Amino acid sequence: MNEKAAHVPERIKELREILDISALDMARDTDIPYETYNKYEKGDLDIPISVLYTIANRLGTDVTVLLTGEEARMASAAVCRKDKGVQIERYPGYEFSSLAYNFKHRTMEPLLVQLDSSKAQAAQVSHSGQEFNFVVEGQVKITVGKTEHILSAGDSIYFDARIPHCQSAVNGKAKFLTIIQE
């Protein structure tokens, strides 16, 4: 995990305290069990990206603030150079890079995700909105509900993100672009 992202839990706690929101109220307002929320805020448990969006919404801020400690600055266009996105490893073998982290008031989140089949597969997640995945390299197994789809470079899938889902590399490493719209 990069240095800026390592500070996400303390940024969440600091913003929550500035806004005078108790941890109990924060957990209730975000529909996260109190014990789980406390583990997120203490850094004892990785925070899924979908949960970061929920927390950022409740705090009235952009997820960029939680990830980097800085406000997004661009309003008309934001360029992200190769290998310069905000990179975070949220689960073993599942790294993502935010490609539009510096654009204000995003309505979707494009992420470049790298997977490694030698690492444990992440658990299924669900979140509001819709999701689009486009495989850039390798093969990716995308599970939506109970249905598995094996996609190769150039293949894509679009699905309702409220349905539990996960992605994993097939035989080695893989890379895919995901666009999440909340």
Domain assignment of residue 80, yes or no: no
How far is the C-alpha of 143 from the C-alpha of 77, rounded, in Å?
33
Same domain, 62 and 110: no
> Which pLDDT score, from 0 to 100, does residue 155 have?
98
User: pTM score, two decimals?
Assistant: 0.77
Contact in structure between 74 and 103 (CB atoms under 8 Å): yes
* Amino acid 93: pLDDT: 65
pLDDT of 1 higher than 50: no
Instruction: Please answer whether residues 142 and 119 qualify as being in contact, where contact means their C-beta atoms are separated by less than 8 angstroms.
Output: no
Query: 143 lies in a domain?
Result: yes
Rounded Cα distance between 6 and 43, Å, is 9
Strands 165-181 and 86-91, by their bridges, are unpaired
d(CA 158, CA 179): 9
Task: Considering only residues 19 and 86, tell me which one the structure prediction assigns the higher pLDDT.
Answer: 19
First to last CA, the chain: 24
Of 35, 68, 101, the residue that ends a domain is: 68
pLDDT of residue 141: 96
Give pLDDT, residue 35.
96
Domain assignment present for 102: yes
Q: Is the pLDDT of residue 74 over 60?
A: yes
CATH number at residue 162: 2.60.120.10
Q: Output the CA–CA distances (angstroms, integers) from residue 120 to 107, 138, 168, in the order listed.
A: 31, 17, 9
Q: Residue 25 is encoded by which pair of tokens?
A: 């109220």
CB atoms within 10 A of CB 177: 15
Percentage, residues of the chain above pLDDT 90: 54
Task: For residues 168 and 93, state if they share a domain.
Answer: yes
Check residue 90 and give its pLDDT.
Answer: 61
**Over 60: is that where the pLDDT of 145 sits?**
yes
Give me the residue label for tokens 């035989």. 171
| pLDDT tens readout for residues 87-129 | 776 666 678 888 998 888 888 889 999 999 888 878 888 888 8
Which domain, by its residues, includes 12?
A: 5-68
- 51 pLDDT above the threshold of 90: no
Same domain, 52 and 102: no
Is residue 121 domain-shared with residue 53, that is, in the same domain?
no
CB 61 within 8 A of CB 18: no
- Domain count of the fold of the chain: 2
Structure tokens belonging to residue 172: 């080695």
pLDDT-wise least confident of 113-117, 146-150, 174-178: 113-117
My answer on whether 59 and 100 are in the same domain is no
Instruction: Please report which confidence band the pLDDT of residue 36 belongs to, taking 50, 70 and 90 as the band edges.
Output: very high
**135 vs 43 pLDDT, higher one:** 135
Q: What's the pLDDT at 32?
A: 95
Q: Per the domain annotation, does 139 fall within a domain?
A: yes
Q: Mean pLDDT, to the nearest integer, of 43-64?
A: 87
Whether residue 101 is found in the same domain as residue 64: no
Query: Does the structure show a pLDDT above 50 at 148?
Result: yes
Q: Are residues 24 and 111 in the same domain?
A: no
Going 56 to 31 to 109 to 90, the CA torsion angle's sign is positive
Based on the domain organization, do 62 and 15 belong to the same domain?
yes
Strand 156-160, strand 165-181: pairing: unpaired
Residue 50 in any domain: the answer is yes
CA distance 112 to 89: 12
Return the pLDDT at 92. 61
Residue 90, domain member (yes or no): yes
